[in-house]
Structure 1
């Protein structure tokens, strides 16, 4: 692939890249997908061994195919999800080249399109879709120095309890990843301290329906922006062990020590904000608000769903909440490792400067960049709350494919302006389609 031309180049063959390829294929748009590893590699090797999808199989999938060997109401293991996207790509013959890393995308000079440098040569493309998703660069706050004698890993590097040295573990971050990792470590017999920050805590299931269903009928998925002040609030919900509501009281009862948000470290002592009780209370309020809206929906629509009064029984606050600690001597507590479940940052340094802001974040409106010809896919809240979910990225990809079709319609009126010297737009499309179709899929 030393030199190649294509109309649309998609960078990344995760769920976003596969969805984008499907919509372009359906519209007959010549394109190529480049993936530096394997299809859906983040599902295969980017998370811990026991990870399952956080939504039931009927919900966390594309519209065109069910997940094989997984019950519709079950939560698919990570390898099943990776196999699903691989099979989905094969279903429509996605032109994917694996083992090819994109290193830079730069605007062509004196002609439209972009020159894309890769580990296997250069590609000229009229449009580029950055489908690399939001999980690009693990974020570990600069709190504990590397030379403190503690093993520190990000949640994306955690695989299983045996990976960590003997001793207690501190898990920082109480979103879906943090609570599942903390619970797994505790079940393995470890002493675990969990640092709990601000979070939403929806019910996994209520009155016979999963929270994914409730957010759908309550029109929560279509929200176009997070509530003010909640842009970075994580969601604590779990599909592990058949799926359950995250309950910090139950985690405390299992022996996990709860502390507030981690904010400092000095001389072997970790410091915590005095916000544990507030974070737990706000999570409870979020949980109860979903129950209230669900009850109102059932009454308004005359539905005969089973009553579930026990769902509102929260129980007493655990000792750690009523008697919080604000400092912990890690050595005295036997803590030998820290798992930072603190999220990710994006890395679009390979894109043209005008496609990102001063902080390196993508500039876009619904995935359409002000840098003409650049598109983003797979971002949280890209168009709505559902953009972070598998079905949401499929619909976002459909929208971007339509935007590319609109741009193509304008180019139909300038066929004398070739993308590649000596080739008109229509000739390029034919050449690209023939060349790409001949490229075998690498999985």
Structure 2
């Protein structure tokens, strides 16, 4: 656990950063360089809490270590093309925190934020109230775990947890386990349980997948060289909607490999379509398993084809030839109902995401869905910025790759706003 000098909440700051994850800390780094008076408010007892307490034991990065580019603190280990494990990620973050020594207050909960004038925010906490000229929301967008509404109550002897509560197979009771959701977390948790010998039932969704390695190189490396990570929201074919997209499932475990749900099915995992309901002892699924698997494989092959085209256009030679993934398993039929007791399902893990909760921010900057309206993190109120959200600006945003770039941009914006405000105040002050 990181240690931070205990500090009391001051009466005012130039900038208050809400959230002590890597995104908020990166903003703090650049504000310190600019000599901007600021504080990081973190509700948990430690910085970068989610990496420590909301990841399963066998968690690894999905992107290679060389993409870990926190400001003035790039990955410097012996395996740049490897994938850090949970404990290694924590060690990397602790090194950054120690070097940064951010002005942070831990265990403080922000309860209400309102703007009462130009560049004047009133920030109420459970440890008092402070004022700020600028607000940075670095609390991420994964706040409230999503649980589906069910027609019937699940039996009391069935353990029900969310993905953020899963740590290892040992915590799962005897019997079979249903994992709902096949995004990155769902697919990797299903694999973790499967490799441990648990009988896994997996309810799939529309998550895409990609190869880990192709044509002799990590697919991430190819996509980086092709400029994909520099794609901005405005340049993307889905525009703003891309912010709601599901990440491709793949893994960095054991040096990195594909996640092939069809292969898991051959090995005994039971696959189903999208989860719909639990009613009268029955788990009910949509008849879309084949479509979900086919769509994921289409994305897999499309990404590989784009790499083939890139190599051809740039006359790049590799030892590995082009290939197309062919399905190793097909569902014989679409099973849409199973009996919970008959299948001996004794635990369910919901891996269907989170909802953002910005309810404490009493600010007119959110759309009808409660999402901040912003351009590259700068909201429609230029005194409020966000950082750490997926696709904040590019595909690399929200990752270790581009969080420093986003933070530098936001810190520069804040510095300019404060300078303009101070200059304006000085020009109208009596001599």
Q: Which residue of 1 aligns with 2:276?
A: 263
Aligned residue pairs total 415
Instruction: Check whether the contact 1:14–1:85 (CA below 8 A) recurs between aligned residues.
Output: no
Instruction: Check whether the contact 2:152–2:279 (CA below 8 A) recurs between aligned residues.
Output: no
Instruction: Check whether the contact 2:288–2:334 (CA below 8 A) recurs between aligned residues.
Output: no
1:138 lines up with 2:150 in the alignment: no
CA distance in 2, matches of 1:80, 1:51: 10
CA distance in 2, matches of 1:30, 1:3: 11
Q: Name the CA shift for 1:49/1:144 in 2 (closer, same or farther; >3 Å).
A: farther
CA distance in 1, matches of 2:418, 2:79: 41
* TM-aligned CA deviation for residue 227 of structure 1: 4.6
2:289 to 263, 276, 292: 276
CA distance in 2, matches of 1:114, 1:86: 31
1:162 lines up with 2:174 in the alignment: no
Q: Name the CA shift for 1:103/1:186 in 2 (closer, same or farther; >3 Å).
A: same
Q: Which residue of 1 aligns with 2:320?
A: 307
- Give CA deviations for 1:59-107 in whole Å, capped at 9, x if unaligned: 1332522346551111111222223223213213321222222222121
Instruction: Check whether the contact 1:277–1:322 (CA below 8 A) recurs between aligned residues.
Output: no
Q: Which residue of 1 aligns with 2:39?
A: 32
1:89 to 82, 97, 106: 97
1:17 lines up with 2:17 in the alignment: no
CA distance in 1, matches of 2:247, 2:209: 9
CA distance in 2, matches of 1:89, 1:387: 20
1:42 lines up with 2:50 in the alignment: yes
Q: Which residue of 1 aligns with 2:5?
A: none
- Give CA deviations for 1:153-183 in whole Å, capped at 9, x if unaligned: 1101111112122110000111111111111
Instruction: Check whether the contact 1:67–1:80 (CA below 8 A) recurs between aligned residues.
Output: no
- Tell me the SS of whatever aligns to 1:238: coil
Instruction: Check whether the contact 1:200–1:283 (CA below 8 A) recurs between aligned residues.
Output: yes
1:399 to 385, 401, 409: 409
- Give CA deviations for 1:184-231 in whole Å, capped at 9, x if unaligned: 112222211111111211111112222221222222223333654764
**TM-score, L = length of structure 1:** 0.88
- Give CA deviations for 1:384-428 in whole Å, capped at 9, x if unaligned: 22213112222111221121122123213223499xxxxx9xxxx
- Tell me the SS of whatever aligns to 2:88: helix
Q: Which runs of 5+ in 1 are unaligned?
A: 419-423, 425-443
2:263 to 250, 255, 262: 250
Instruction: Check whether the contact 2:297–2:325 (CA below 8 A) recurs between aligned residues.
Output: no
Instruction: Check whether the contact 1:170–1:195 (CA below 8 A) recurs between aligned residues.
Output: yes
Larger displacement relative to structure 2 (73-82 or 228-237): 228-237
Q: Which residue of 2 aligns with 1:62?
A: 70
Q: Name the CA shift for 1:413/1:61 in 2 (closer, same or farther; >3 Å).
A: closer
Q: Which residue of 2 aligns with 1:293?
A: 306
Instruction: Check whether the contact 1:172–1:195 (CA below 8 A) recurs between aligned residues.
Output: yes
Q: Which residue of 2 aligns with 1:129?
A: 136
- Give CA deviations for 1:111-162 in whole Å, capped at 9, x if unaligned: 6311111222222110010001122111112136545332211101111112
- Tell me the SS of whatever aligns to 1:395: helix
Q: Which residue of 1 aligns with 2:3?
A: none
Instruction: Check whether the contact 2:275–2:284 (CA below 8 A) recurs between aligned residues.
Output: yes
- Give CA deviations for 1:19-60 in whole Å, capped at 9, x if unaligned: 111121222222111112211110000121111111111113
Q: Name the CA shift for 1:233/1:416 in 2 (closer, same or farther; >3 Å).
A: same
**TM-score, L = length of structure 2:** 0.90
1:210 lines up with 2:230 in the alignment: no
Instruction: Check whether the contact 1:35–1:97 (CA below 8 A) recurs between aligned residues.
Output: yes
- Tell me the SS of whatever aligns to 1:221: helix
Q: Which residue of 2 aligns with 1:378?
A: 388
- Tell me the SS of whatever aligns to 2:133: strand
What RMSD, in angstroms, separates the aligned Cα atoms of the two structures? 2.1
Instruction: Check whether the contact 1:3–1:121 (CA below 8 A) recurs between aligned residues.
Output: no
Instruction: Check whether the contact 1:14–1:131 (CA below 8 A) recurs between aligned residues.
Output: yes
Instruction: Check whether the contact 2:161–2:348 (CA below 8 A) recurs between aligned residues.
Output: yes
